[in-house]
Structure 1
Amino acid sequence: MNLARLIILRHGNTFDAGDTPTRVGARTDLPLSTSGQQQAQALATHFRDTPFTAAFCSPLQRTRQTARAILDHQAGAPALLILPFLTEIDYGPDENQTEEAVVGRIGADAILAWDSHAVPPPGWHVDPDALRAAWTALLARAAGLRPDATALVVTSNGIARFLPDVVGQTPADLDRKLKTGAWGTVQISGAETCILDWNVRP
């Protein structure tokens, strides 16, 4: 039986080798870097034969560029729709700071709690309940797609990590942190949802 699917994809890189990476959140609207553009093209090649019925991304240019690269390789691609909740979280005082500086302010345990359980560190502006509710609403929306439909959702790491909390079945070893240029697949059958894979790259 063919079931509807959501491809949940994190945008490509915003830093290249030799750059000093920082915590890029909602207030730092960076474009894709050179390697990020290459990731987007690799994704476009991989999904070339996957006709998307719907496509969503955040207002941030890194997600729009990634989604656009994929859709531009498809004939009859759907319109790219902006969903504000897909915008990356606001890291507060840690926005655009190096990881060393962030760990120095909040400690390694706070980073571990964020990566393992999506517990926001002090000072970060994020509403976990609102994000879980938004993902739930998107899954309900996707349940209305035709049985063989596939929708593309391009977002950021801080947003994607709340999706597994509202999916019915998830892999036991799932790592919440979605890598740049990686995706997960959510299968949908009415009210039943299942993450088939996570952190997949071309």
Structure 2
Amino acid sequence: MSGRIIIARHGNTFAADEAPRRIGARTDLPLVASGRAQAIALGAHFRTRGLDFAHCLTSPLRRTRETAALVLDGAPCPIEAADWLVEIDHGPDEGRTEDEVRARIGSDALAAWERDATPPIDWTVNAEARRAAWALCFGEAAALGGTMLVVTSNGAARFAAPGAGRLRTGAYGEVVISANAPPQVVAWDVRP
């Protein structure tokens, strides 16, 4: 069989007048108004494309569950929280601004994280387990067929499509899954 997975990043958790901070697994923020608008825009975009989701996985974090509920807008699609989709743990950088993080670990360490998911010292990522979980998810999606929605964070999403780059808040990627071929990323960081 074959199928597709839409991997969406949760909507904004900071208002326009707030300085964004590194927020990971230990901080469970709700969506702000602009984040709710992003999720609603994703849902409208998917409906325009005629996507009918058979299943939805989210991380256990509130921001991903809220995003999924707004995207699905009451559609009869089961939503399941999956622990493996939780955001990474930014260690001592949790809650710090990007400038503060850069001052602590350096620009090269941040560039390595963005480029190839090499985590800075003191961050808990467990890349191998994340890659294995995505591979299992892709296999299950191929067996089930149809379209699956996965709502998570950038830290978790990057392991679904190595080298694809960052997923901005309110953006998505699309991966086509087939039992006879490796997963194929057909879109990434699309923001309606």
TM-score under structure 1 length normalisation: 0.90
Change (3 A) 1:191 1:89: farther
Matched with 2:144 is 145
Indicate conservation of the 8 Å contact 1:58/1:82, yes or no: yes
* CA-CA distance at 1:128 after TM superposition: 0.7
Matched with 1:187 is 176
Matched with 1:80 is 79
CA–CA distance in structure 2, aligned partners of residues 129 and 183 of structure 1: 23
Indicate conservation of the 8 Å contact 1:157/1:178, yes or no: yes
Q: Which amino acid aligns with 1:66?
A: T
Matched with 1:158 is 155
Deviates more, 1:192-201 or 1:43-52: 43-52
Give secondary structure in 1 for the equivalent of 2:176: strand
Give secondary structure in 1 for the equivalent of 2:56: strand
Change (3 A) 1:175 1:137: closer
Deviates more, 1:86-95 or 1:45-54: 45-54
Aligned-CA RMSD value: 1.3
For residues 109-155 of structure 1, the C-alpha deviation after alignment (integer angstroms, 9 at most, x for no partner) is 00000000100000001111111111111011111113xx1100000
Q: Which amino acid aligns with 1:79?
A: P
For residues 134-177 of structure 1, the C-alpha deviation after alignment (integer angstroms, 9 at most, x for no partner) is 1111011111113xx11000000001111124xxxxxxxx5421
CA–CA distance in structure 2, aligned partners of residues 44 and 177 of structure 1: 21
* CA-CA distance at 1:79 after TM superposition: 1.0
* CA-CA distance at 1:185 after TM superposition: 0.6
* CA-CA distance at 1:191 after TM superposition: 4.1
Q: Which runs of 4+ in 1 moved over 3 A?
A: none
CA–CA distance in structure 2, aligned partners of residues 161 and 109 of structure 1: 18
What pairs up with 1:33-44 in 2 under 5 angstroms?
A: 33-44=32-43
CA–CA distance in structure 2, aligned partners of residues 84 and 191 of structure 1: 28
What pairs up with 1:5-154 in 2 under 5 angstroms?
A: 5-48=4-47, 49-74=50-75, 77-146=76-145, 149-154=146-151
CA–CA distance in structure 2, aligned partners of residues 108 and 73 of structure 1: 43
Q: Which amino acid aligns with 1:197?
A: A
Indicate conservation of the 8 Å contact 1:22/1:99, yes or no: yes
Count of residues paired in the alignment: 189
Indicate conservation of the 8 Å contact 1:7/1:153, yes or no: yes
TM-score under structure 2 length normalisation: 0.94
Larger RCO (CA within 8 A; separation ≥ 6): 2
Indicate conservation of the 8 Å contact 1:143/1:191, yes or no: no
Unaligned runs of 5+ in 2: none
* CA-CA distance at 1:73 after TM superposition: 4.5
CA–CA distance in structure 2, aligned partners of residues 197 and 46 of structure 1: 14
Give secondary structure in 1 for the equivalent of 2:111: helix
* CA-CA distance at 1:102 after TM superposition: 0.4
CA–CA distance in structure 2, aligned partners of residues 115 and 28 of structure 1: 21
* CA-CA distance at 1:25 after TM superposition: 0.4
Percent of aligned pairs sharing the same letter: 50
